[in-house]
Amino acid sequence: MNQLELTKILQTAFAEDIGMGDLTSESIFTETQQSKGVYTAKADGVVAGLETIRVGYQLLDSSSKTTLHKKDGDFVEKGEKIAEAEASVRTLLTGERVILNLIQHLSGIATATHQVIRLLDDPKITVTDTRKTLPGLRIFQKYAVRCGGAKNHRFRLDDGVMIKDNHIKAAGNIKSAIESVRARCGHMVKIEVETENKEQVLEAIEAKADVIMLDNCSPEEVKELASIIPEGIVIEVSGGITPKNIAGYRNCGANVISLGWLTHSVRALDISFNLV
């Protein structure tokens, strides 16, 4: 994980959660009372973001000690010990919720990614995320996707050209949009075009798009359209693909399947924290 970005996120999260101080813990415990806490998986899954535990407690107490029993990308079973932390009782309890929120969310993304790759069961197709991420957490959500075994789509708007339906409407057509991009961007910039029908696919082919996205297409429609797309053009499929139907896209001819729900609406992995 990116240590600088992680520190910034945790500082902001702790400031939001702690405010003027942890009234409960500071009212009950002294600064000198020490303890140990254990993070345990309460469900099977893939863990991600575990460095959050060490960095989080270090921000609250530089004398804290963290032992990680798993590493990011590891599969854990329900009941397995993930990590241990030693610090004052105040520190352990004050940092608990922020740390749990982040590692449960990131582990949920990694777990869902791992599961959907298994369901697809097609090494010829790369699974990726999208830019449908939570503000401020994109770098970590995309990191969690990689922990789950998939790859990343664009990180930012300056990471590549993606001509979508509203761009096409405003530009008039796909050809005009691509010509404008070619006139302004260098040779290192790839151009992807989102298409909704055969006519748009043919127009994107003629305009020499680098990547053609087939939006909201069934596996049968993908197979039909993939058969007319020349080799050398990357075929991406997106929209309406879920764990329930992704197996149907096996051997459909796509190179990439992008899934927005991996980051914007995934279920957190259940992880507990308990003092020893």
Q: From CA 180, how far away is CA 189, in angstroms rounded?
A: 13
Active-site residue 194, yes or no?
A: yes
Q: Which CATH number fits domain 3-111+267-275: 3.30.1490.20, 3.40.50.9100, 3.90.1170.20, 3.40.50.2000?
A: 3.90.1170.20
Q: From CA 1, how far away is CA 140, in angstroms rounded?
A: 7
Tally of residues, the chain? 276
**Amino acid type, 196:** E
Which one of the listed residues 36, 42, 70, 132 is annotated catalytic?
Answer: 132
Q: What is the pLDDT along the chain (276 residues), one digit of tens a residue?
A: 899 999 999 999 999 999 999 999 999 999 999 999 999 999 999 999 999 999 999 999 999 999 999 999 999 999 999 999 999 999 999 999 999 999 999 999 999 999 999 999 999 999 999 999 999 999 999 999 999 999 999 999 999 999 999 999 999 999 999 999 999 999 999 999 999 999 999 999 999 999 999 999 999 999 999 999 999 999 999 999 999 999 999 999 999 999 999 999 999 999 999 999
Active-site residue 31, yes or no?
A: no
User: Which of these, 84, 87, 91, lies nearest to 25 by C-alpha position?
Assistant: 91
Active-site residue 164, yes or no?
A: yes
Which one of the listed residues 51, 215, 221, 224 is annotated catalytic?
Answer: 215
Contact 228, 202 (CB under 8 A): yes
Contact 239, 216 (CB under 8 A): yes
Architecture of domain 118-264: Alpha-Beta Barrel (3.20)
Per-residue confidence (pLDDT) for residue 1, from 0 to 100: 87
Which one of the listed residues 22, 61, 192, 194 is annotated catalytic?
Answer: 194
Q: What is the largest CA-CA distance in the chain?
A: 72
Q: What are the domain boundaries of the chain?
A: 3-111+267-275, 118-264
Which one of the listed residues 97, 182, 190, 250 is annotated catalytic?
Answer: 97
User: Which of these, 73, 48, 241, lies nearest to 141 by C-alpha position?
Assistant: 48
Pairing relation of β-strands 234-238 and 45-46? Answer: unpaired
Which one of the listed residues 36, 70, 146, 164 is annotated catalytic?
Answer: 164
Q: In what order do the strands lie in the sheet with 191-195?
A: 126-128, 256-258, 234-238, 211-215, 191-195, 161-163
Residue with tokens 């990191």: 143
